[in-house]
Structure 1
C-alpha cells in the first residue's frame, strides 16, 4: 500500500543545477548530479541521480534510496535491513551498487525512467498484453524465491531481529484482524476462527522445507516490465517465510496492494500455475503435492485477515485507494467485501470457521454499507473492462 510522502532535508535537495549531490557511501571518484524526486513514502526518500563520473557498468543514472528515521521497534524501522538483504540475495532485483549504513542509504541500479510497471498494464487498455504480463510477473516471482538452506542461515543472521518480528506478525496480525472485525461487525464465530487461523499459521511455520527468502511486497507498481523480463523493486518486505505467502499474491491477487480489482475468469489460476512452475525450479515437489493448493489458500486467508486489520478504519470512513501519479484504486469497502467473499468460497473445506467468519463479515458489509456512497461491487481491471463492455454492447444489440 502506498504511504503519503513526507520528505526530509537531504544533501541532494535544493542544490543548484551543476552542483554534485552529496550522497553518502559512494566509492572514491564517483560523482552524481542533483537528484530528481521519485516519490517514496513516510519510510524513505527515493531519487534518481545522473552519474557524472563512475564505473561504466553503473549506466547513465542510479537510484538512491534513503530510509527515514522510524520509531524504534516498529516494522518500518527494519526496512533498510530488509531491502539490503533483498538486493543482496534475490535475483530479478536491481543491483546494489553502494551503501552507507550510518545514514541508511542505498545506491542501486536504475532500471529506466520510461519503463512501465505491471500496474500500468492492468490499468491500461490492452487485455492481451495485461494477461501476458501477469503470467510473466507470476513466473518471475516464483523464480525469485530462494529456499537454499545455507542461504537461509546466512540471511537470518543478516536480518537479525526482523526474523522474530516477522514470525510474531504472522501470528498476531490475522488474529487482530478478526478481533477488529468482531468489534465492528459483532461476529459470532470469532473465537473459533481465531483458533483455526492460528493453526493454519503454525502449519506453515512448521513446514520449514518450504521456507524461502522472498521479496514480500510484490505489488503491480513494484514490478517493472523491462525488455529482459520482470524486475522487482521496493524490497522493504523481504524476509524468510513459507513460499505460500508469496504464491498467495497470485491466487488472491496482490495481497498488500492498492491496485486490486476483479480479475477476469481464469487469470488467477493461470497466475498460480505460472508461479508454481517458476518456484519448482528450486522446489520441484510443489507441482504434484495436493497440500500445495491448500497451503496457498491458507496463506491467502492469513493475508485477508491481516489486511482486514489494516483496512477496516478506511472502510468505516468509506475511503478509496489512491495510487501514484493520479492512479485510483478501489473503495476500501469493496475490496474488503470481495476478499471476505473469496475466503468464504475458497476456504470453506479446510478452514470452515474462518470461511464462516468471512461470510458473516460480507453479509454485515452488504447490510451496513450497501446504501453507502461507494458501491460494494469490486470493478474489473480496466485492461479487460473495455473489452467486456464492448462484448455486452454487441450482445445487447443482437
Structure 2
C-alpha cells in the first residue's frame, strides 16, 4: 500500500505550403526547431496528423538517424497556455516509468514542441463506441480502463515529482492539481448561469461547489492526463495508449474513474454505456490500481465515486448550459455525437438522484435545473453509444 502526504497569435511555423495542408514544406520552421531539439536526426514531413484549434499542430515525420517515423507536436509561442509544459512533463514522467503513452524523444521550450514516438494510425475507444460491434466496444472500454489504471498505479503519490518535472520544462509555479480552481470558477459562475433560467443559487450550494474536493473522504493522488476521452488514445499491440496531456495534473484518481460512471464528462462522444460494461471496466481499472491504492475496494471510495459523478455534473453546467439554451447542436460537427441538451439532461438526472450523504443541496438544485430545462428547451435522454444500439 502506498501512503500519500499530502496576445496576437504567432503563425510563423503554422504556414501552409502553396500546395495545401499537409504537403512537405508547409511547416519548415517547426521541423527545423524539432531537429535542433533532437540532435542528430533529420526529419521529413509525411503528413499533418492533427491540428488542435489555433494553438497546436501534430506532424508525422520520417527520421534519418533514428526510428523510421516519429510525431512532432508544436504550439504557437504566444498560445498563453501552460499546455506545453504540462504535456512535456507528463510525457517525460510516463516515458521514465514505461507507462501507456507515447515515448518522449525530445522537447524544446522556444518554440514549444515535443517529439514523440509514433503510435501509428490505429483505432481508438471512440472508434469502437461509434462502430457496430458491441464486443469490440466492450474490449476497447476494458483496454481504456487498464491503460488509465496503469497510469494511476505508476504515478501514485507523484505530486512532488510532477512539480519538479514541470519546473524542468518551463512550468515553474504551475498548480499541480487544477481541480480546486475548476470548482472555484464553477462556483463563481453558478449564480449568473442560474439566473439565465430564473433559478436562485443558494449559498449552501455555492459553498459546496467551491470546496468540492473537501467532500472526498479518501486521498489517492496520481498523474492524470485530465482529458481521458475516448478519442484521446490509440490502439497498439492489443492495448490502448493514452495521448493528449495538455491538461495533465496530479489529482485524485476518482475524477478519472468517474469518466466511466458519468460517462466521459469533457468529451464529445459521451454516449450512454450499458451498466454491465461500466462495471466490468471499473473492475479492470481497480485491478491495475489496487496494488498502489487498495482503498479503491473500500466503502469510502465508493462514496467518493458517487461524489465525483455529481461533481462532473456541476462542472457540466458551466461548460454547456449557455450554448444549450441557444441551440441543440451536436457536440461534434462531423461525427455521431449527442447534443448539449442530452449531455446536460443525463448528468442532471444523475445528480438529482444521488445518494451521497452530504450533497443534498446539490441534489436539490440539480432537480430544479432539470425540471426547468425539461419544461422549456427540453432535456432529452442520452442515447446509447452506436455500438450498443
Q: Does structure 2 retain, via aligned residues, the 8 Å contact 1:11–1:23? A: no
Residue equivalent to 1:389: none
Distance 1:211 1:118, change over 3 A: same
- The answer on 1:8 being equivalent to 2:17 is no
Offset, 1:71: 5.9
User: Unaligned regions of 5+ residues in structure 2, if any?
Assistant: 1-8, 167-171
Aligned to 1:175: 187
Q: Is the 8 A contact 2:330 2:338 kept in 1?
A: yes
Q: Distance in 2 between matches of 1:188 and 1:18?
A: 56
SS of the aligned residue for 2:330 comes to: strand
Matches within 5 A, 1:96-111: 96-111=104-119
Q: Could you tell me how far apart the structure 1 residues matched to 2:306 and 2:189 are?
A: 17
RMSD: 2.6
- Alpha-carbon distance in 1 for matches of 2:383, 2:303: 27
- Match of 2:337, SS state, is strand
8 A contact 1:180–1:309 mirrored in 2: no
1:333 aligns with 2:326: no
Alpha-carbon deviations, 1:205-225, whole Å to 9, x = none?
x85x41111111010000212
Structure 1: segments with no counterpart, 5+ residues: 1-5, 386-398
Per the alignment, residue 103 of structure 2 pairs with: 95
Partner of 1:245 in structure 2? 255
Match of 1:144 among 146, 151, 170: 151
Number of residue equivalences: 362
Aligned-pair distance for 1:135?
1.8
Among 211, 215, 220, which residue is 2:225 paired with?
A: 215
Q: Counterpart in 2 of 1:190?
A: 202
1:23 aligns with 2:32: yes
Residues 186 and 70 of structure 1, relative CA distance in 2, 3 Å threshold = farther
Q: Distance in 1 between matches of 2:235 and 2:188?
A: 36
How many angstroms apart in 2 are the aligned matches of 1:234 and 1:309? 23
Looking at secondary structure, tell me which structure has more helix per residue.
Answer: 1
Question: 1:283 — aligned with what?
Answer: 293
Taking the aligned partners of 1:181 and 1:342, their CA distance within structure 2 comes to 20
Kindly provide the CA deviation profile for residues 7-33 of structure 1, in whole angstroms up to 9, marking residues without a partner as x. 934278428877695331433331111
How far is 1:307 from its partner? 2.1
Q: Which residue of 2 aligns with 1:36?
A: 47
Is the contact made by 1:213 and 1:240 (CA closer than 8 Å) also made in structure 2?
yes
> How far 1:162 moved relative to its partner?
2.6
Q: Give the secondary-structure state (helix, strand or coil) at the position aligned to 1:161.
A: coil
Q: 8 Å contact 1:48–1:63 — kept in the other structure? A: yes
Q: CA–CA distance in 2 between the matches of 1:144 and 1:129? A: 23
Q: Which residue in 1 is equivalent to 2:382?
A: 378
The equivalent residue for 1:388 is: none
How far apart are the structure 2 equivalents of 1:292 and 1:348? 12
Does the alignment pair 1:309 with 2:343?
no
Asked if the contact 1:15/1:34 (under 8 Å) is kept, the reply is no
Change (3 A) 1:199 1:10: closer
**Which whole-Å CA distance do the structure 2 matches of 1:173 and 1:11 have between them?**
32
Residue 376 of structure 2: SS of its match in structure 1? helix
Say if 2:193 and 2:322, in contact at 8 Å, map to a contact too. no
- Cα contact 1:175–1:305 (8 A) shared by 2: no
1: CA distance, partners of 2:301 / 2:342: 29
**What TM-score do you get using the length of structure 2 for normalisation?**
0.85
Q: Check conservation: 2:24, 2:45, Cα contact below 8 A.
A: yes
* Match among 299, 306, 321 for residue 330 of structure 2: 321
Q: Once the 2 structures are TM-superposed, how far is the Cα of residue 377 of structure 1 from its aligned partner?
A: 2.6
Contact 1:259–1:330 under 8 Å retained in 2: yes
Residue 82 of structure 1 and its aligned partner are, at CA, apart by: 0.8
